Amino acid sequence: LLTAAHAQQKTNPDDIKEKMQWFSDAKLGIFIHWGIYSVKGIDESWSFHNKKISYPDYMQQLKGFTANNYNPQAWADLIKESGARYAVMTTKHHDGVALWDSKYSKLDVANSTPAKRDVLTPFYAALRRDSIKCGAYFSLIDWSHNDYPQFLKDSNRYEIKAQPERWQRFLKYYEGQMAEVMTKFNPDLWWFDGDWEHSAEEWEAPKMRQMLTSHNPNTIINGRLQGYGDYETPEQNFPVSRPKYHWWELCMTINNNWGWQPQDNNWKTPFEIITIFVDAVSNGGNLLLDIGPKADGSIPEEEVHMLKELGAWNKRNGEAVFNTIGGIPQGHFYGPTTLSKDSSTLYLFLPAKTSGQVMVKGLSNKIESITVLGNNSQLTHKVVGKISWSPVPGLVFIDVPENVHDKYITVLKVKLDKAVKLYR
């Protein structure tokens, strides 16, 4: 989901550069979709909106949200183990069910479910103990609120123009809940969703941004605030070429759904996820990888496995990912690349378990050493086609023996004599 409107940033990158630094360095975040939709294992909010289930049947799920086996510290520890540096939790989805104890509504898990408690406070506390940045997903849409204009698909309650006072009532509620999340949890990052149902003016987007940034000048806001955010967030579809905006993050599910759905066994493999991850990082972006815990608070084993494998890969290869910058333009190397911040180390991600030789084109630097991350093998290389009187650099061929490969994606660390210099 990436429309032209989403690409229209109203913030000046120079003004927000400093606060964006941790986000730039973070590379990996874990997205969590947890709500009453995990009771029946159906689409979050959309299932009743699209009339796959009636609204009352959807809300029956409140009775099944127990959080009986919820262990927020174990969640945070697993996220830490994956290598992720931030987590984004659904505080409220389009269904309007708040995961904290809201004074503005009874429709929250503390007052209307057997969980009988605010489940966010202990989770954000655990994340902070593990030095993981705290993100709050907050749906602008609230399909349950009586003063929200759009209810079920095709059944609009009212037109804002016809009943502006009603929209004002909704805005008061929406601002109130946003302020609650802001003061209770002081999120490092806000992840809005659903902005497409109204204009920036109707959402009072500039005012909301102002409220959040005056409370916490360092808070980061995603792009789904009708242009008043700090970074762009394409959803599921991977951009083929490097996005134009300064900061971006691909959000993606591990199977096909955001929340837990028992019939969905279409799990991506660790190889696939790591390939997507390094491709995003190579293009200067982050990956926000989603998990969908069950209603009792347990995390599906396939997702636990994925996060652990990702973490183990990051232990071996994280040097090439975290705190790096996007790599060299495609065409120099047939695979993802990153650079150290001073650009004097080039990391090459082998797209497959290639053995034999891999080639780098147009590299004007001298190479000081080439090693394989995770096992420290030294690799040899040769330069071919260099003509002494020509400024065109030769082609670098690196010898990659069979036995150096990582279980998933192999990374070559190429130390250069100085900052990378490319011949275009």
Contact positions vs ligand H79 (CB under 6 A): 1, 44, 193, 196, 235, 251, 258
Token code pair at residue 151? 């209810």
Least spacing, CB of residue 33 vs ligand H79, in Å: 6
Residue nearest to ligand H79 (CB): 196
Q: Least distance from C-beta 422 to ligand H79, angstroms? A: 37
Q: Rg for the chain (alpha carbons), in Å?
A: 24
Quick one: 193 or 319, whose CB is closer to ligand H79? 193
Integer angstrom CA distances of residue 366 from 79, 382, 396: 39, 11, 10
Alpha-carbon distance of 310 to 20, in angstroms, equals 24
In the complex with ligand H79, which residue's Cβ is closer, 44 or 309?
44
Residue with tokens 């929250």: 108
User: By C-beta, is 251 or 307 nearer to ligand H79?
Assistant: 251
Q: Least distance from C-beta 234 to ligand H79, angstroms?
A: 11
Greatest Cα-to-Cα distance within the chain, rounded to the nearest angstrom: 79
| Structure token digits, residue 62 | 């409140």
Sheet holding 381-384, edge to edge: 356-360, 395-400, 381-384
- What lies within 8 Å, CB to CB, of 330 at 6+ separation is none
CB 192 within 8 A of CB 229: yes
Nearer to ligand H79, 144 or 282 (CB): 144
Closest listed residue to residue 71, CA positions, set 126, 129, 130, 134? 126
Q: How far is the CB of 226 from ligand H79 (least distance, A)?
A: 12
In single-letter form, the type of residue at position 12 comes to N
Torsion sign over Cα 314, 317, 321, 323: positive
Nearer to ligand H79, 94 or 316 (CB): 94
Other beta carbons within 10 angstroms of residue 210's beta carbon come to 12
Q: Tokens for 403?
A: 């036995």
Smallest distance from ligand H79 to CB 78, Å = 20
Nearest distance from C-beta of residue 198 to ligand H79, angstroms: 11
- Whether the Cβ atoms of residue 98 and residue 132 lie closer than 8 Å to each other: no
- Comparison of 153 and 244: residue with beta carbon closer to ligand H79: 153
In terms of CB distance, is 50 or 68 closer to ligand H79?
50
* Closer Cβ to ligand H79, 198 or 413, answer by number: 198
* Least separation in angstroms between CB 123 and ligand H79: 18
β-partners of residue 345 are 415
Residue 236: CB minimum distance to ligand H79, A: 8
Nearest CA-CA partner of 139 in 198, 55, 72, 215: 198
